Amino acid sequence: MLTHPLPDPIAFSIGPLSVHWYGLMYLAAFVQFLVLGRMRARQPHMAAAGWKPENLDDMLFYGVLGVIIGGRLGEVLFYQPGYYLSNPLQIFAVWKGGMSFHGGFIGVLLAMALWARKTGRSTVAVYDFIAPMVPLGYAAGRIGNFINAELPGRPADPSLPWAMIWPNVDAIPRHPSPIYQALVDGLLLFIIVWIYARKQRPPLAVGALFVGGYGVARFCTEYFRTPDYEVHFAGLTISAGQMLSLPMVAFGIVALFITYRRHRA
């Protein structure tokens, strides 16, 4: 039976400064955004639309603010409002983990809308440009969750080869759900969206594919993750993550239908 190693969350220290693995995973996410963004800007249809690698540095600054502020506020408002109201100073302790993807997603949408307005670009075009770079950044964040022993999975069959005991939770074999989400919501979704985005697509199609695809992937992988809380809807029990993902699925389907219908017309 595998056991979560519970590694030290601090990767290394320089004097009084401690660098956490969780922070390093976010740094890796931002670096991959720059690398993939430069590759995307050089794709013929992106270059023809006026995208240049030099656009990325300023865009990343806005994106970092959106991810951190939106992700943290999403965690506070969507998942643990009671805890953070009782411990308000913990809101700023982002190095301990606790970042909501859905909150970060909203934060990035707002940040990119501001960047688009500043640069005179179409907001839809900006969303389509950045969509393929998001999933791998998300995967890095989930690896950070795993290192921090956060987001434990639901109980698993002990015969499952990769079932894992999380000593910080209990002695029950569990699914390593952060790894599932890194692979499915992150890596697999990246491959699908990146391949789709290599050719010219109707406006908003790439962004809609990412949004809908993430919603579907997250809804499925939530079945293996211990829910933060569950809600009862139409006779069904769904987790908080699934509830927040359903609007993304609906938007992705509707947006793809509308954008292709307009494109054909």
Residues flagged as binding site: 142
Q: Exposed, middle or buried: residue 223 (CB in 10 Å: 0-12, 13-18, 19+)? A: middle
Cα separation values, 97 from 15, 26, 230, Å: 22, 11, 21
- Residue 83 tokens read as 């805890």
Consecutive H or E run containing 10: strand 10-14
Closest CA to 187 of 131, 138, 249, 129: 138
CB 95 within 8 A of CB 119: no
DSSP secondary structure letter of residue 79: I
CA atoms within 13 A on the CB side of 137: 26
